[in-house]
Amino acid sequence: MKVGIIGLGNMGYSMALRLVEKGFNVYAWNRSREKLERIAREGVKPVETPRDLALTTDTVIVMVSDDEALREIVYGFNGLLKGVKPGFTLINTSTTTPFIDKEISTKIELEDACFIEAPVLGGPRVARRGELLIIASGRKHCIEKNKLVLEALGKIMHVSERIGEAMVLKLAFNTLLISSLELLSETIGLVESWGINPEYFAEILSKTVFAAFAKKYYSRLLAEEYPTSFKLSLAAKDLEYGLKTGNYKGQPLPLIATATQMYKLASLYGYGGEDYSRISLFIRRLRKWPQPKEYTL
């Protein structure tokens, strides 16, 4: 089966390698050439445009940053939509908003093709092992047709035929996780600000309902350096999308709104390209900022 992938970032690159390993005939397009040239040495075939990818393959997986990137790939000059033919499938695994997925799915279905909304849980290493949790919305026959490729990447949880619902669930999970990391970082800062060894706090957490969460994230938050597996700027984007998605239906999300501001501020202060766990360094460094000698208006 010929499968295309668009977006060879931290996630897409690992997913493409996984598909090669599972025996798929993999083609790819990426905005910047160097990643395409690198992955060509691993057996992935580069193409010139998203349109070419749709014309060459049966199914294209898109794994890009955000709504703007997805929009450019689908509607842009030599965009994917220009190559869509009956029987084709577009799978969006990026974390976007439900709004853009609904819009694109309508256009794709007009061409007698399939659209699957399939945001994922799990980072690049999990993707490389084919162990993602894939939350999917889309027509049953479309999922059935693409079962082999989806199962090569992870476990499918088909939640609805209605496009948008899988993305809402993904945004609900990510806003919970990302805001919780900020909250844990703040409480570590509270402990440290009194000169108390944060390991005591870790020990307390390990005996409570927070044990599993702390086990997974505590040392990552405390580490001075951590390799980027999920960019902090993308975490800020997920919070913003979650906020927008809930507010659209009239749901107030005040804690998520505050977390969004903190991650956006950290991005502005240069942490955007770093791992999202660096929110902990940003928050804890705030207390060491120079204090004004006197307060004047």
| Listed residue (115, 120, 106) closest to 167, CA to CA | 120
> Which is closer to ligand NAP, CB of 128 or CB of 231?
231
**Which residue among 3, 5, 8, 104 contacts ligand NAP (CB under 6 A)?**
8
Length of the chain: 297
CB of 50 closer than 8 Å to CB of 78:
yes
Residue whose CB is nearest to ligand NAP in the complex, by number: 9
DSSP state of 230: S
Residue closer to ligand NAP (CB basis): 84 or 120: 120
| Rg, C-alpha atoms of the chain | 21
Q: In this chain, which of 31, 139, 145, 244 binds ligand NAP, going by CB under 6 A?
A: 31
**Does 271 sit near ligand NAP (CB under 6 A)?**
no
By beta-carbon proximity to ligand NAP, the closer residue of 7 and 242 is 7
Q: Which of residues 165-204 bind ligand NAP (CB under 6 A)?
A: none
**95 lines the binding site for ligand NAP (CB under 6 A):** yes
* CA dist 41 → 20, 129, 130, 201 (Å): 12, 20, 21, 47
Stretch that binds ligand NAP, among 31-39, 145-153, 189-197, 247-255 (CB under 6 A): 31-39
* C-beta atoms surrounding 201 within 10 Å: 18
Can you tell me which residue has the tokens 């869509």?
84
The answer to whether 15 contacts ligand NAP (rule: CB under 6 A) is no
Closest approach of Cβ 21 to ligand NAP, in Å? 18
Q: What's phi and psi for 45, nearest 5 deg?
A: -95, 120
- E strand residue ranges, the chain: 2-6, 25-29, 45-46, 59-62, 89-92, 114-117, 120-121, 132-137, 154-160
CB of 76 to ligand NAP, least distance (A): 8
Nearer to ligand NAP, 8 or 222 (CB): 8
* 36 binds ligand NAP, rule: CB under 6 A: no
Which range, of 40-48, 61-69, 253-261, 282-290, touches ligand NAP by CB under 6 A?
61-69
